[in-house]
Structure 1
C-alpha cells in the first residue's frame, strides 16, 4: 500500500487519519499483528475483549465492557445490527468503529459532526446495511 497524506480527524482525544484508525482496527482484528508484525500480544487482545464488569450491564443494552470496548452480547440492544462477540466504541464527533471477529469485518463511521441528533439511527442503519450485504 502506498502512503498518501490524509486529513486528520478527531475522536475528542485522539487525532489521526481514518486510514491509520483502520490500521489500528485491523491490528485488533488480527489478534495483535499488523503487516506480519506483532504489536500487541494475543493474550492482551483476549483480555481487552473479555467481559471486565461481571454481571453488570452497559447502560440498558445488556452488553458488557472489556478494556476500552463495549462488547456485544447475544442479548444486545443492537439486535440484528451486530454479531455477538463483536466489539465497538465511539468518539465525541460521531466517529465509531465496530470490529467483528466472526465475520472478519471492520466497520468505521467518521462523520466529524457534533451534535448530531440522528447519529444512533445513522450508525444502526449503516451496520444493518453492511451485515445485509454479507454472503
Structure 2
C-alpha cells in the first residue's frame, strides 16, 4: 500500500481530557469527510483501540466532538444532525440525543457544528449550522431547552 492510502484525512475538530490518560484513550478527533471519530492515547502518542461510528442508518461525516469532564465519554455530532455519546473505555454507544420535534428524528435538522459538556456532566450543549443551540440532559439524553 502507498503511504497516502493509510493516512487519515486532516483533523477538523478534536478534544482531550487528561484525567483518564493512564487508563484508556483520552483524545478524540474528527477528520474531513470521515464518518468515524478516532480515539488516541496521548500518553503513548498512538491511535487507540476503538473507532467511534454513529449508529444511524445514514452515515455522514462527523463534524464536532467533545470529551466529558470525567473523561469517560465522548460526544460526536454529524453533518446529518446526529448526536451520539460513546464510552471511551469500551468504544460502545451509550445512546443518541434525539429531538422529537425535528422532522428527521435526530438531534438537529441540519449539520451539527459544535458539541460540549459542562464540568459536572449534567448537561450536553449542541449547536446546529442553522443557528439553533440545544441543551440536553447528559445522562438521560433528553432535550431541556433550545
TM-score, length basis structure 1: 0.31
Instruction: Report the structure, 1 or 2, having the larger helix content.
Output: 1
Instruction: Report the structure, 1 or 2, having the larger strand content.
Output: 2
TM-score, length basis structure 2: 0.30
